[in-house]
């Protein structure tokens, strides 16, 4: 494990990250850095980093890579498969290493990219080239190389054409194949005597689950969970953004109960909705997320209306809450269990089977096995369970108030 953990964390603290057109300070993540350095970088491995949509996976990895780039212990090679970039040209590759090493690595990797621009990542070739680089003089101190393939599942999905979630089987299959490739297995797990190679794929939980199912039990892969920011760090972000935008009287506790530390969704609220959380609740949460998901389920199933879907959800939830001893059913994540398309549509997330990099807050929207990605989804569903399908933002806010959450 690289030595200067605190130094690395301090350097991350000084980083400015994007927020709309603004820059804000990178917050928190000490626990994640320690878990990452101690547990993820403990053995050669393929890791899948998942978490709520916009929780900060990419930002965490880039900021860490950047903070470690002059230690010379670990080289980060970061492929960005961001769909618009890849459609135009090749995936962007960023190498985080001291300048002299960086030059050598980029030079070597360039040859592969030119040879096979658009095919799925040829991990075997990338690995052979990296082994060649590592065996050169002057790179004796490098302990390991971390490859990050960001947005790779979205890229595969876009190639498959239909953005429908069923393509996840295709995506998981392609990824699993690349990892299982004989060359890759041999190099990662046999050929490296004293150095380590890590492959990290920040992906959606649905892809992660399917890959785990395909490769499960072989010890090759591990899903890691990164959560939204904790309450205190989120408070700091909100205050900083309020100052930057000149917003007055921002109710930080209410925002915690709506966003649960998700900075991407805060960005949507501030930039697209100018802090108008009622309109954000109506358009983004009630209409675009919950109603749309129930409608999709209605069409796919045997239901005559979304009201019937909700009824069915409540019946199922009551039974599950009873079975698990959760008390009265109020939308508890462990009673809803991601059913009704809630997992596929990023309303909920599965917490089991993964190593948790982040500590999860103790809140009603986070269960033991499942959680809502942001609390607003939980409160909307709770209001619907009480009042029926036609809830308004006021009903949702009332729900939060009555539970003492504000």
Ligand X SMILES: Nc1ncnc2c1ncn2[C@@H]1O[C@H](COP(=O)(O)OP(=O)(O)OP(=O)(O)O)[C@@H](O)[C@H]1O
- The contact set with Mg ion (CB under 5 A) reads 57-58
Q: Which of 59, 82, 122, 312 binds ligand X (CB under 6 A)?
A: 59
Which of the choices ligand X, Mg ion, none does residue 18 contact, using the CB cut-off of 5 to 8 A by kind? ligand X
Q: How far apart are CA 255 and CA 270, in angstroms?
A: 11
Q: How far apart are CA 39 and CA 50, in angstroms?
A: 16
* Closer to ligand X by Cβ: residue 252 or 389: 252
How far apart are CB 77 and ligand X at their closest, in Å?
Answer: 18
What are the DSSP E strand ranges found in 32-124?
Answer: 45-50, 74-80, 92-96
Q: Verify binding: residue 210, ligand X, rule CB under 6 A.
A: no
Q: How far apart are CA 250 and CA 180, in angstroms?
A: 50
User: Distances from the Cα of 376 to the Cαs of 42, 347, 400, in angstroms?
Assistant: 37, 10, 9
User: What is the Cα 406 distance to its own chain's centre?
Assistant: 27
Which of the choices Mg ion, ligand X, none does residue 324 contact, using the CB cut-off of 5 to 8 A by kind? none
How far apart are CB 261 and ligand X at their closest, in Å?
Answer: 10
The residue with tokens 């860490």 is 64
Which of the choices Mg ion, ligand X, none does residue 38 contact, using the CB cut-off of 5 to 8 A by kind? none
How far apart are CB 153 and Mg ion at their closest, in Å?
Answer: 11
Q: Verify binding: residue 263, ligand X, rule CB under 6 A.
A: yes
Q: 91-100: long-range contacts at Cβ-Cβ below 8 A with a sequence spacing of 24 or more?
A: 91/155, 94/62, 94/65, 96/65, 96/66, 96/68, 96/69, 97/69, 97/72, 97/142, 98/69, 98/70, 98/72, 100/138
Which of the choices Mg ion, ligand X, none does residue 303 contact, using the CB cut-off of 5 to 8 A by kind? none
Q: Verify binding: residue 11, ligand X, rule CB under 6 A.
A: no
* Closer to ligand X by Cβ: residue 121 or 313: 121
How far apart are CB 337 and ligand X at their closest, in Å?
Answer: 22
Interface contacts to ligand X, rule CB under 6 A: 17-19, 24, 26-29, 53-59, 202, 229, 237, 263-264, 267
């Amino acid at each position: 494990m690289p030595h200067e953990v605190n130094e690395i964390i301090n350097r991350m603290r000084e980083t400015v990250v994007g927020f709309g057109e603004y820059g804000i300070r990178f917050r928190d993540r000490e626990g994640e850095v320690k878990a990452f350095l101690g547990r993820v970088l403990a053995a050669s491995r393929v890791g899948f980093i998942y978490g709520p949509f916009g929780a900060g996976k990419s930002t965490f990895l880039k900021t860490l890579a950047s903070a470690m780039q002059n230690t010379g212990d670990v080289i980060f090679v970061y492929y960005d498969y961001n769909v618009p970039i890849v459609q135009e040209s090749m995936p962007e590759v960023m190498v985080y290493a001291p300048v002299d090493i960086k030059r050598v690595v980029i030079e070597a990797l360039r040859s592969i990219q030119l040879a096979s621009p658009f095919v799925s990542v040829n991990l075997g070739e990338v690995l052979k080239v990296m082994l060649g680089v590592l065996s050169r003089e002057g790179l004796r101190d490098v302990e390991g190389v971390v490859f990050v393939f960001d947005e790779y599942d979205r890229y595969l999905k876009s190639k498959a054409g239909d953005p429908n979630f069923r393509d996840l089987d295709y995506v998981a299959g392609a990824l699993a194949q690349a990892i299982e490739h004989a060359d890759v297995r041999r190099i990662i797990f046999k050929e490296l005597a004293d150095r380590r190679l890590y492959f990290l794929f920040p992906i959606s939980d649905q892809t992660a689950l399917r890959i785990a199912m395909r490769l499960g039990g072989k010890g090759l892969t591990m899903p890691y969970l990164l959560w939204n920011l904790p309450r205190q760090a989120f408070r700091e972000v909100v205050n900083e953004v309020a100052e930057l935008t000149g917003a007055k009287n921002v109710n930080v506790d209410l925002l915690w109960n709506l966003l649960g530390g998700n900075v991407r969704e805060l960005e949507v609220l501030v930039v697209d909705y100018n802090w108008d959380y009622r309109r954000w609740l109506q358009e983004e949460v009630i209409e675009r997320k919950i109603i749309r998901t129930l409608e999709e389920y209605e069409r796919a199933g045997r239901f005559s209306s979304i009201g019937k879907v909700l009824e069915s959800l409540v019946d199922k939830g009551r039974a599950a809450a009873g079975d698990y001893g959760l008390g009265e059913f109020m939308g508890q994540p462990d009673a809803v269990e991601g059913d009704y398309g809630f997992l596929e549509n990023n309303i909920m997330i599965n917490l089991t089977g993964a190593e948790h990099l982040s500590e999860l807050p103790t809140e009603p929207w986070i269960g033991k096995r499942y959680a809502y990605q942001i609390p607003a989804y939980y409160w909307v569903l709770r209001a619907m369970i009480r009042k029926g399908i036609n809830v308004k933002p006021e009903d949702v806010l009332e729900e939060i108030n009555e539970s003492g959450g504000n």
